Every structure is written in C-alpha cells, then in structure tokens.
Structure 1
C-alpha cells in the first residue's frame, strides 16, 4: 500500500502541472517567446517528473530557459535530473548562479515549479534569505508575473491540521503579493451545511477547511472520500 502511494504522487503532481503549463504558454501566446526565469526549490524527488514535463513543454514552445537552484535543490536529485534533461536536449536551458546579484530583469516571467514548504513559508513571511525569496521579490518589484506550483510538502494530506491551516494562510499571502499559485490549493468555506451538490463543485484532491459547527451530509462525506478531498474542521 505504501509503495502504491509513493508511485501515485509523481503522477498527481504531473497532472497538476498540466494547468500551469497551459497558463505559462498562453500568457504570452500573442508575443514572441522570450526568456523564462525558473527557480527550483526543495529536494523532493516526487516532484521531479512533473517539473521536467513542464521544462520540456516550455522548451518545445521556444522559450529560453534560465534555471537557478536553491541550496536544497542543488544538493538533491532535482538538480541532477534537470542536468540530465538539459544534456539530452543539447543545452536547451542555461543554469545560472543561484544568487540574483545584478542580473538584468530581461525575463518575461518567473516560474517556481513544486515550491517547497520552506520557501513558501519564507516568502510569505517576507524573508529574503534564500534563492526563491530573492527571485520572487526581485520579480514582483519589477512588475514581472510570478507563477508557482505547490510541491508535495505543501499538499500532503497527512500533515497535522494546524500546519495545513498555516499553509493555507501562507498561500493566501502569496496571492495577495500577486503570485499566481497553482495546484491543490486549500479552500475555506463558511457554509453551515455541506451537501452532495456542494462537493461536486469542488476540485478533486484539494483540502477543505470548515468551521467546527458545519454539518456534512452522509452522501457528501462519501463523495469527499471518493474525490480524495481532505476535510479539516474545528479551526
């Protein structure tokens, strides 16, 4: 059973990336492809296949890919996997010094695939002590679009409810900054009753935060389980 769960996580992340690939490609469909700045964070091997799928789609669309790695990503299979992909593509991407320093703002978009929990929390707190934080605030300060997908750490259903609630608040903070966050985003609802018809309007795999007094019908609970929607009550 544990092995089956491990095998399903990369596939789930790859499916979540379909939406981000479409958004990145369509964001500039009226313009000539330009440079995309990409920052890899974390060391979760589960996110690698989805990230490489995204790099491949962007490469095929003609974008110039510039990639930086956080410390944790550079020390893991994430960087090795990206290097192997790049070698097979004849050097399609350029790997840059992780620190921004005085790099020109000639990129059209900043993309952070599989954003790690550590980087998510630091960006939301306004810190600038890692590569992802530096690039996000550098891009936002120059009116560049920033898109991020959530890594496995940010969407794991086994996390304590208090931590998942904190993650939800951090995601909301990034969105207030102007960052487009894609993936299995937690949803908060103030309904007093969740019925079957409400569940069928939700997205499979997301997290649902409810007031402790909210009632859920038996049919709705069955549908929540079938759609793999995790419910957290009593906040």
Structure 2
C-alpha cells in the first residue's frame, strides 16, 4: 500500500469511496445549506467553524477537497489557505463574500483551485466542486490509462511528475502550487503548439474562467518567476493576444 501524504490520502491514488468534502464556514445556516447540496451529490461532508478546527480536520479526516470561507474567527481563511498549501496539494475552493478582483487574484495566486463569491448559485457550486475533483484525479487517470508510461514529461531540462506533482528544472526542485503545476503540465504536454487563452483557462481553472485572462496572466507571471525565467525568452513564450507556446 502506498504511504499516505500529509493529509492522510494514499499517494498512489484515492480509494473509490465517495468524495469527502471539508466545509469551513462560521455561519451555521449557510454551512447547513452547503452540506445539504454536497450530500445530494452523494459526497460526504465534515464541517469546521473556524480556522484552527479546519487545519485539525484537514490533517485528521483526509478530505478530498475543502470549501473555505475567508472571513473566519481567529485564524482567517488566508492563513488557513497558506498553511494548507505548505502541507500539500489538497484541492481548495474559496467561498467568500469578497468579490473584489484583487481578492480573487490573491486567492488564486496563493494556490486556491477556485474562487466563488457569495451570493452564489448552488448548482454552479456543485459543478465547480465536481470539476475540481476531476482535475485533481486527472494526472492519476492519465498515468493509468495513457500510453506514456508513468506520465512523466522531460523536455529542455524540465522534468514533470504528474503523480507526485513534482517539478525539476536542471535537476533542482521547483515548488509550484497545484494550479501552477496544471498550467505548466498543460503547456509542456503540447510542445510547440499555440495554446489559446480560453483553452488554458478552461483546462486549468474550468469553464467559468474561460474569459478571465487577468487570472491567467497573473499565474503565468508567478510560474515563470519560479522557473527562473525573465521576460519572454524562456521555455514558455507569449503569443501576444492569442495565448502561449511551450518551446522544446
């Protein structure tokens, strides 16, 4: 059996049990609504009312995804997000009343997999949770079902391991958020091809983000910085007004 990661999930793949969702919300009535809609989908839920309880349950209960409010008593959602991202790649969806673009960009750049503003559409929320769960499992499925062996990509001094979510550049580890990893993996899987803004946004963030180019540009800036690239002369080239191309 594979050793568990820091959240208690087997590194070699998740069990076939229903997805377990940790709901971090300090308003009991709204938390009850979230639980009702999530459990209608056949998922199981755990509820935390503050940041410290959220971190404890994330470590103890091995959830498959977290719905995280930002306005929490004590340790707020930003601090919880940062602590969870240090520990691993557990999918996190921010669910918050903060609708400013600056907050949205901050959340996504800090490693959130999605950013959903209140008031919200519960059917849309369910669709976004399902999309995040699919994306989290996609590298494992590709490795099991594809013809590329273990799914590793090695190009131009860059190594990507989709199962371990590890990246190396010239032999040195590069620490990426899950979103940055998906962005790099999507491009590196298509060397020499122009990948349009909408295609990247849909593949990495999901269909609701297909027109959100500022989110893509902000994440691309962070990804290039972590890869040690400056400007447009590295592995990832900008095709102005259209998208990006991975140069192999």
Higher helix share: 1
TM-score interval (norm. to shorter): 0.3 to 0.5
Q: TM-score, normalised on structure 2?
A: 0.33
